[in-house]
Amino acid sequence: MMPKYPASKAARNQWILEQRHNVPRADLNPFEPHAFWCEDERSASGETVSVATLLLTNRECPWKCLMCDLWRHTLTTTAPLGAIPAQIHVALDQLRAARQIKLYNSGSFFDKKAIPPDDYAQIAERARHFERVIVECHPKLINESCLRFRDLLGEAKLEIAMGLETVHPEVGPLLNKGATLQDFQNAADFLAKNDIALRVFILVKPPFLNEDEALLWANRSTDFAFGCGADVVVLIPTRRGNGAMEALEKSGDWSPPRLKTLENSANYGLALQKGRVFADLWDLQQFSTCEMCFAARRERLETMNFTQQILPPIECVFCHD
């Protein structure tokens, strides 16, 4: 069922903003990241490597995506010059040694109002000691700034993560992302031409799709991502938490995906053997309806993330899911 929320971009922006009224924005220090930790991840070489993951504090993204809750941990103004390098120092001075680093920033790394370009050199000075530097960016902001930052990293490999979300021809534009599939393809081509690796985020069950459609379009989106040269596909179950998703759930235009749908989309992606496929496990329990099998099913997905091999499904005598 198609939504009753606005059809025009301006009206959609306003509607999405109106849904935030009961969702608080965090009170943040621009000289400190709002979160950081070390995690392990399967690398392109097949090793399990340590990754320092930093969630930087910066200005909100200019796009108002329907499903996005990252704005809750952003500033309303651009961070002062030097603040982003300071945040990186704060995190890395406390984390254990790692081989790769993710500099995620609730928006686009190459948005000049989020990460000041004059900070690139200081950022790169700390990041260039890692084997791989992974940042996020909107397809419309993939440009010469990426090359400037890449060159500052020296021997470190630059990888850029972009949100494809879905290739569904009707649902995609309704997500209010402000980028077409052609925009995504153009950005991916630019990265490939300039020896920059590509990581792609795909939503499992975005709004306006039922469960069967959700799996179909997650699979088609995975096909498209690998067709664009993706090294990594990350499957992210669509979550509550930004006000807009709760409004769509109330209106019957969306419901959270079943855990089974995420499992099947991961199975499909891994079977392609075209690149690494990761199921996002953050707050995964909200997608499970059975306490008896959840732990085993989460462990299965985690093991699949590390091995990149499809494991036998968990058979549950309680939920039969």
Where does the pLDDT of residue 2 fall: very low under 50, low under 70, confident under 90, or very high at 90 and above? very low
**pLDDT tens column, 200-232:** 999 999 999 999 999 999 999 999 999 999 999
Where does the pLDDT of residue 79 fall: very low under 50, low under 70, confident under 90, or very high at 90 and above? very high
Structure tokens belonging to residue 80: 């002062």
Q: What's the confidence (pLDDT) of residue 76? A: 93
**pLDDT tens column, 122-158:** 999 999 999 999 999 999 999 999 999 999 999 999 9
Where does the pLDDT of residue 240 fall: very low under 50, low under 70, confident under 90, or very high at 90 and above? very high
**pLDDT tens column, 8-60:** 889 999 999 999 998 999 999 999 999 999 999 999 999 999 999 999 999 99
- Whether 290 shows a pLDDT value over 90: the answer reads yes
- Whether residue 198 contacts residue 228, with contact meaning beta carbons closer than 8 Å, is answered with yes
Question: Mutual orientation of helices 144-152 and 120-127 as an angle, nearest 10°?
Answer: 50
Q: What's the confidence (pLDDT) of residue 223? A: 98
pTM of the predicted protein model = 0.97
Question: Mutual orientation of helices 211-227 and 259-272 as an angle, nearest 10°?
Answer: 30
Cβ neighbours of residue 274 under 8 Å, at least 6 residues apart? 226
